[in-house]
Chains A and B, each alone.
Chain A
Amino acid sequence: MTEILGYIATAFSPENLVFALVGTILGIIVGALPGFTPTMGIAVLIPVTYTISPTSALVFLGAIYCGSMFGGSISAILINTPGTSAAAATAMDGYAMTLKGKAHEALVESAMSSFWGGIVSVIALLFLAPPLARFAFQFGPQERFMMALFGLTIIASLTAKSVIKGLMMGCVGLVLACIGIDPVQGSVRFTFGSTFLMGGIQMIPVVIGLFSMSQVFTSLKDPVEVASKESLVQYKSSKMTLKDIFKYPKIYWWSSVIGLIVGIIPGTGGDVASYVAHNTGHMFTKDPDYGNGSREGVAWCEAANNAVTGGTLIPTLTLGVPGNATTAVLLSALTIQGLTPGYGLFTTEKEITYPFICALFIANVMMAAIGILGAKYFARVTLAPKNILNAFVLFLSVIGTYAIRGSVSDVFLMLVFGVIGYLLKLYKYNVVPIVLGLILGPIAEAGLSQALLLNGNSMVAVFASMTTRPICIVLFLCMVISVSYPYISQYQNKKKD
């Protein structure tokens, strides 16, 4: 017991508190800026940590990671420009809420659900890390294939009004995901001899193009508006009550569990988690606006993508296997400090690891505090005149896209997708399935190809092997519910009428 108090005391030392606070603020900024990924932020700041103690270094970098996951949602909600790919799902409900004048509410919900997601994952990291890490081993090729398919079934619920249009967009995303180096065979496809295309279509330029640039183009048609009196009244009356802190306990819990599991599986991260969680939420929600300005939708996405932080740290710390790109960088910071990841971190090096986990807890509290206190000020953005906001978004989109890897070609790609997104919106196509196809296509493809390789290239043998895998069966049942649910609820509504 005194041991534990010692770890908590270390975490609360003034030095570590300062590092946690600075890290959280930096993380929120890096997260909110499109194109600046948490991975990049941590990689650039690693040299800063050479001279400080291992615990403080980890606290600092871990706080950046936590803060960035929340930061991404701020720009997604306010200007429909997801700061991180994990926040793309949040933009669906979050930006729709902003359009309804509920930006403040969306930001508060995002901060609170991020907080709960973070807390659940930190607790799991503290008490359940070793057994959970071993659970990840169960996710073989078949399980990943099924998980990606389950994520894709969100198309059914997103586009229930016109499934054909939704499926068309989903296919566009899947085809785009095929460009580049084949993940399994290693051969080059659909590149037309271009070295740029060999690297594949990058996620962030497409997301920024489809979400933010198309938004700018759309609003250019409209006359210049200044903030209306109503929105000013709404802004002034926006308040945060105690109820907001724990509004959807069930959503926080289940969404965190999803985020945690997705985080533990190597190769998947916040983007997959928030779409899977949003899709799961669709089965339980009674909100008719779900997917189109629902506070519950924001909660599902944000709790999941913040739970990913603890989830990805579980295999990183216990096994030395990074759960995603960001934790891969954290892992190298760990080795530079002379620490060896593995069970040793929880035994011989525990005076470093446990204070670090306690400090993550503190970082999450700071993040929630900054989010809630700042929500009112962040929301001011919605009061800015459209023409100024548009110029600002355009500027941010170009800089952000360029920053990913210093490529002007990426900027052109982003602009092309901006035009495509504008035209698609004009003809009432939902662009989210394109992003889904891009994120989940490669996971599904790799999983299926690997399963085929291991089963003598026989589709029958692959499906037969799935029937003996419990995780596959559960995912299959979830898929069936997800696809049929929108129709069942439509049918029920008709019956009521």
Chain B
Amino acid sequence: MKKFISSALSAALIFSLAACSAGGGSDATSSSGTSSTSAGAGTSASASGTAAQVEFPDIITVTVPFNAGSNTDIQMRFIQPYLEKHLGATLVINNAGGASGVIGTTDFISQAADGSNILFSLPTPTVYRPASGETTYTVDDLVPVSRITADPFYLAVSGENDQFPDGQSVLIYIQENPGQFTYANAGNGGIAHVAFASFLDSEGLDALSVPFTGGTADCYTAVMGGHVMSYSVSESELTGRSDIRPVINLGTKSTTPGFEDVPTLAELGYEGYETNAFAGFYYMKGVDEAYVEAFDAAVKATLEDEEFLAAAAESNFMHRYAGHEEFAEQVKNAAELAVPILEALQ
């Protein structure tokens, strides 16, 4: 009998140990990151110049309001070791997913504004969900720090589609057949929807938005199966795809090979519409301005780091840095463009 109890107890112990080590996974990766790069911290401070003005805490918690393994999470984990080097601090990634990022963002805003907590997020929880009035916070509760990526959105059709050879043909079809043109997106009120809907709405055009819960993968299948005519998708998700053809650039003119020839809405005669998926860092309102400056400087130095650039080139990691002023401007513009369409949804 004793044997059974002891074996059961030891099994429980092993399980609990396994549980602890699996749960602490993110911590483990971050601490190893610092120990190997702590030597570099001194040199980076002088390289970035401004980072010396404030003292960062030893540990900074980065809230990623999406699940471990999501695109945003992977991006954060990719830059983590390089950023740690330039910050001279250990980054602990806290994945808090749910409700398109709103749960993690709500949680983040209630944390201490002492520089030890920062948010890394896409615009859906920071700009679009608050604009529709469904969250307990507003876009003004967040302070944009720096932008890492900015992916233009595209309207894309199947590569086998002869009906819409170019962007002009799509716009003509929409004008001649109101409500007949269908475009899939990853959810109403999300950025992929707003990217095209805000344009249609302001120009008095009518097309049918068909949301797919499974995200871009789901939209892609629906387009390839002929269930919808087109879908709204960001550049990074189109990279390397030959079976899908982007026809209209809904964001900023791209310089990426293969995308530079896709006409923007401005080039098709409609000025003032630019939607990009931008991932970046935010502090909460009330944080010392010096932390914003210093963190931004460290991010800038990271994205200019040769080691990082080499790794990014190898992994097709597309980064488009913007400093806190430019980033704040972009957040403000995105919110203004989205409000009418999000209010119409209510």
**Which A residues are closer than 8 A to B by beta carbons?**
29-30, 33, 36, 39-47, 134, 136-141, 180-188, 195-196, 198-200, 202, 226-227, 265-267, 315, 319-323, 325, 328-329, 332, 335-338, 340-342, 344, 380-381, 383-385, 388-389, 392, 395-396, 399-400, 403, 405-407, 442, 446, 450, 453-454
Contacts and interface: CB of A to CB of B under 8 A. Distances in A.
B240 A340 contact: yes
Contacts of B211: 183-186, 450
Contacts of B228: 454
A41 B227 contact: no
Contact of A44 (B12, B25, B221, B315): B25
A39 B208 contact: no
A289 B56 CA distance: 64
Given A42-B69, A186-B211, A338 B4 contact: no
Contacts of B69: 39-40, 42-43, 46, 325, 328-329, 332
28 contacts: A40-B25, A40-B69, A44-B68, A134-B224, A139-B225, A181-B99, A185-B188, A186-B190, A186-B211, A188-B134, A195-B106, A199-B98, A267-B213, A315-B221, A319-B243, A328-B70, A329-B68, A335-B315, A342-B240, A380-B7, A381-B11, A384-B4, A384-B5, A385-B4, A388-B9, A406-B94, A407-B98, A453-B210
A44 B187 contact: no
Interface in B316-330: 316
Contact of B67 (A137, A140, A400, A405): A405
Nearest to A198: B99
Nearest to B158: A137
Given A199-B103, A454-B227, A40 B193 contact: no
Nearest to B314: A338
Interface stretch (B71-79, B246-254, B260-268, B275-283): B71-79
A155 to B, nearest CB: 23
A195 B74 contact: no
B36 to A, nearest CB: 12
B189 interface: yes
B81 to A, nearest CB: 9
Given A140-B227, A267-B218, A442-B213, A403 B22 contact: yes
B258 interface: no
Given A33-B22, A405-B98, A446-B213, A226 B1 contact: yes
Contacts of A315: 217, 221
Contact of A338 (B73, B94, B316): B316
Contact of A199 (B99, B226, B241): B99
B242 interface: yes
A29 B11 CA distance: 12
A383 B213 contact: no
A267 B25 contact: no
A33 B240 contact: no
Nearest to A199: B98
Given A140-B222, A140-B227, A335-B315, A47 B29 contact: yes
Contacts of A134: 224
Contacts of A442: 213
Given A198-B99, A227-B4, A336-B78, A267 B208 contact: no
B83 to A, nearest CB: 14
B217 A321 contact: yes
A141 B227 contact: yes
B43 to A, nearest CB: 23
B140 to A, nearest CB: 18
Interface stretch (B13-21, B148-156, B167-175, B287-295): B13-21
Contact of A454 (B68, B97, B210): B210
Contacts of B315: 335-338
A266 B67 contact: no
A141 B188 CA distance: 17
B303 interface: no
A414 B162 CA distance: 52
Given A407-B96, A454-B182, 10 more contacts: A137-B224, A184-B213, A185-B211, A187-B189, A199-B102, A340-B316, A342-B240, A396-B15, A405-B95, A450-B210
A316 to B, nearest CB: 9
A336 B5 contact: no
A82 B26 CA distance: 25
Given A185-B345, A446-B212, A136 B68 contact: no
A195 B18 contact: no
Contact of A46 (B8, B23, B77, B243): B77
B23 to A, nearest CB: 5
B247 to A, nearest CB: 20
A187 B212 CA distance: 14
Contacts of A328: 69-70, 217
Given A321-B220, A454-B182, A381 B8 contact: yes
B15 A384 contact: no
A320 B136 contact: no
Most B Cβ at <10 Å: residue of A41, A184, A227, A344: A184
B7 A44 contact: no
Contact of A137 (B5, B23, B221, B345): B221
Contacts of A385: 4-5, 8
Contacts of A141: 222, 227
A266 B221 CA distance: 8
B345 A186 contact: yes
A406 B213 CA distance: 24
B219 to A, nearest CB: 9
Interface string B79-112: 0000000000000001111111011001000000
B214 A336 contact: no
- Report which residue of A39, A138, A188 has the largest number of chain B beta carbons within 10 angstroms of its beta carbon: A188
Nearest to B74: A332
B346 interface: yes
A195 B210 CA distance: 26
Nearest to B28: A44
A345 B73 CA distance: 25
A367 B172 CA distance: 57
A453 B29 contact: no
Nearest to A196: B103
A315 B220 CA distance: 11
Contacts of B44: none
Given A36-B22, A199-B103, A329-B69, A136 B97 contact: no
Counting chain B CB atoms within 10 Å of each CB, the highest count among A136, A185, A388, A450 belongs to A450
B135 interface: yes
Contacts of A453: 208, 210
Interface in B1-55: 1, 4-5, 7-9, 11-12, 15-16, 18-19, 22-23, 25-26, 29
Contacts of B224: 134, 137
A200 B221 contact: no
Contacts of B190: 186
A329 B136 CA distance: 31
A325 B102 contact: no
